[in-house]
A and B are shown apart, each in its own frame.
Chain A
Amino acid sequence: MIEVSQLNKFYGNKQVIKDVSFTLSAGGITSIIGPNGAGKSTLLSLISRLLPADSGSVRVDGMNVATTPGPQLAKRLSVLRQENHFVSRLTVKDLVSFGRYPYSQGRLTVEDHEKVNAAMAFLDLQVLQHRFLDQLSGGQRQRAFVAMVLCQETDYVLLDEPLNNLDMQHSVAMMKQIRRAADELQRTVVLVIHDINFAAAYSDRILAMKNGQLIFDGSPQTIMTPQVLEQVFNLPVQIEQINGQPVAVYYR
Chain B
Amino acid sequence: MLFAPLARAGQFVATFTPLKRLVCFAAVLGLLAMLFMTVKLTGNMNYVLPRRGWMLATMLLVGIAAGVATVLFQTISNNRILTPAVMGFEALFVLIQTSVIFFMGADSSFYSSPLIRFVCESLIMTGFAVLLYRWLFAANTDLHRLLLVGLVFGILFTSLSNLMQRMLMPTEFDVLQGRLFARLTLPHPQLIMISALVVLVVCIIVWRMRYAFDVLALGRDAATGLGLNYRKTVTRILLLIAVLVSVSTALIGPLTFLGFMAAILAYQLAGSYQHRFVLPAAAILGVCFLAGGQLILEHVLSMAGALTVVIEFIGGSLFLLLLLKRGRL
**Which residues of A are at the interface with B, using a C-beta cutoff of 8 A?**
45, 48-50, 69-75, 78-81, 84-90, 94, 98-99, 101-102, 105-107, 149, 152
- The smallest beta-carbon distance between B202 and chain A, in angstroms, is 20
Residues from chain A with Cβ under 8 Å of B224 in the complex = 49-50, 70
Instruction: Please judge, given known A-B contacts A88-B214, A106-B214, whether A73 and B222 are in contact too, CB under 8 Å.
Output: no
The proximity string for B residues 64-86 relative to A, scoring 1 for CB distances below 8 Å and 0 otherwise, is 00000000001100111000000
Are A73 and B217 in touch, CB under 8 angstroms? no
Q: List 12 A-B contacts (CB under 8 A).
A: A48-B225, A50-B220, A72-B227, A73-B227, A78-B225, A86-B219, A87-B74, A89-B273, A98-B218, A105-B211, A106-B215, A149-B225
Instruction: Please judge, given known A-B contacts A48-B225, A79-B225, A94-B273, whether A101 and B215 are in contact too, CB under 8 Å.
Output: yes
Residues from chain A with Cβ under 8 Å of B80 in the complex = 87
Residues from chain A with Cβ under 8 Å of B180 in the complex = none
In the bound complex, CA of A99 to CA of B324 (Å): 35
In the bound complex, CA of A98 to CA of B211 (Å): 10
Residues from chain A with Cβ under 8 Å of B226 in the complex = 74, 98-99, 101-102, 152
- The smallest beta-carbon distance between A8 and chain B, in angstroms, is 18
Contacts A78-B225, A86-B217, A88-B273 aside, 4 further interface pairs with beta carbons under 8 A come to A74-B227, A79-B221, A87-B75, A98-B214
Are B228 and A81 in touch, CB under 8 angstroms? no
- B79: contacting residue among A45, A87, A105, CB under 8 A: A87
Residues from chain B with Cβ under 8 Å of A73 in the complex = 227
In the bound complex, CA of A98 to CA of B222 (Å): 10
**B177 at interface by CB-CB < 8 Å:** no
Nearest 4 Cβ contacts at the A-B interface: A106-B211, A74-B227, A88-B273, A71-B227
Instruction: Please judge, given known A-B contacts A87-B79, A87-B80, whether A101 and B217 are in contact too, CB under 8 Å.
Output: no
Are A101 and B211 in touch, CB under 8 angstroms? yes
Are B211 and A86 in touch, CB under 8 angstroms? no
In the bound complex, CA of A48 to CA of B227 (Å): 11
Are B217 and A88 in touch, CB under 8 angstroms? yes
Are B221 and A50 in touch, CB under 8 angstroms? yes
- The smallest beta-carbon distance between A181 and chain B, in angstroms, is 17
The proximity string for B residues 187-222 relative to A, scoring 1 for CB distances below 8 Å and 0 otherwise, is 000000000000000000000001110110111111
In the bound complex, CA of A72 to CA of B226 (Å): 10
Residues from chain B with Cβ under 8 Å of A72 in the complex = 227
**B108 at interface by CB-CB < 8 Å:** no
In the bound complex, CA of A212 to CA of B168 (Å): 62
Instruction: Please judge, given known A-B contacts A81-B222, A86-B218, whether A70 and B273 are in contact too, CB under 8 Å.
Output: no
**B17 at interface by CB-CB < 8 Å:** no
**B229 at interface by CB-CB < 8 Å:** yes
Residues from chain B with Cβ under 8 Å of A50 in the complex = 220-221, 224-225
In the bound complex, CA of A87 to CA of B226 (Å): 17
- The smallest beta-carbon distance between B265 and chain A, in angstroms, is 15
In the bound complex, CA of A137 to CA of B222 (Å): 21
- The smallest beta-carbon distance between B280 and chain A, in angstroms, is 16
- The smallest beta-carbon distance between A219 and chain B, in angstroms, is 29
Residues from chain B with Cβ under 8 Å of A149 in the complex = 225
In the bound complex, CA of A110 to CA of B220 (Å): 28
Are B217 and A84 in touch, CB under 8 angstroms? no
Are A101 and B273 in touch, CB under 8 angstroms? no
**What residue in chain A is nearest B278 (Cβ atoms)?**
A88
In the bound complex, CA of A48 to CA of B226 (Å): 11
